[in-house]
Amino acid sequence: MKHIILIIITLLSAVEMNAQTIDRATLRQAVERQLASYPESTLQDVYKAFYQEHLGPEHMIDDTAAVRQYLDYELSTMGDECGGFYYEAIGVEGNYVRVSLKSVTDGLISADELMQAFLDSAAARQEPAVDWATKWDAIVAVVDEVKPGLGSASEREMLREASVKKQAVHHSQAYNEAYRPHYRIVHRTIFEMLLKPSIDK
């Protein structure tokens, strides 16, 4: 089953890679959705949301054992502070889904299932046709139209440098305090096949 899923995701990712262009209207809708859903978002949080969809969870996985250990730690320490969604699509195309750890603590899926979906998503990722720095420049241009003044000059420079290096960033302190995020990134197709039926049950 796992190998079938990986084959499907690889084929779908290849289609996404070849088809991906910067659609300004769709991009604007995605930026507006991010800022409306999370009004405490800084420019750094906008970067993180779109970076996660563009590059998937691969950057988070250097040591599988450590990844699982941190998942278990997070599950054991987050308490009841993780509210809101069980899952939500992110970015422009919605190719990745944030799956809240609340879905595990509420008994809808197991930690093992979430961990496997997360790892499979990283293994199946393909490099998008549009490079991240180019896409981030387009996102910033749209942010300047939707919410002028978001992000200081130093923050903008830091994020521009990060985009060139394809570096991930953390959520801002303001975002963490407002929303207490606890989630993992899963490719949409893997999510719909392995996790969504149980969460929506």
DSSP string computed for 57-126: TGGG-S-HHHHHHHHHHHHHH-TT---S-SEEEETTT--EEEEETHHHHTTSS-HHHHHHHHHHHHHT--
Q: Which tops the pLDDT comparison, 62 or 107?
A: 107
Best CA proximity match to 28, nearest among 132, 133, 147, 130 = 147
- In the chain, % of residues over pLDDT 90: 64
The helices-and-strands tally (H runs, E runs) of the chain is: 11, 3
DSSP 191: I
Tally the domains of the chain: 1
Cβ atoms 159, 44 nearer than 8 A: yes
- In the chain, % of residues over pLDDT 70: 84
* Domain extent at residue 141: 2-199
pLDDT mean over 50-78: 84
pLDDT tens by residue, 137-194? 999 999 999 999 999 999 999 999 999 999 999 999 999 999 999 999 999 999 999 9
Q: What is the pLDDT of residue 163?
A: 96
Sheet holding 183-187, edge to edge: 87-90, 96-100, 183-187
pLDDT at 114 exceeding the cut of 80: yes
Q: What is the pLDDT of residue 198?
A: 97
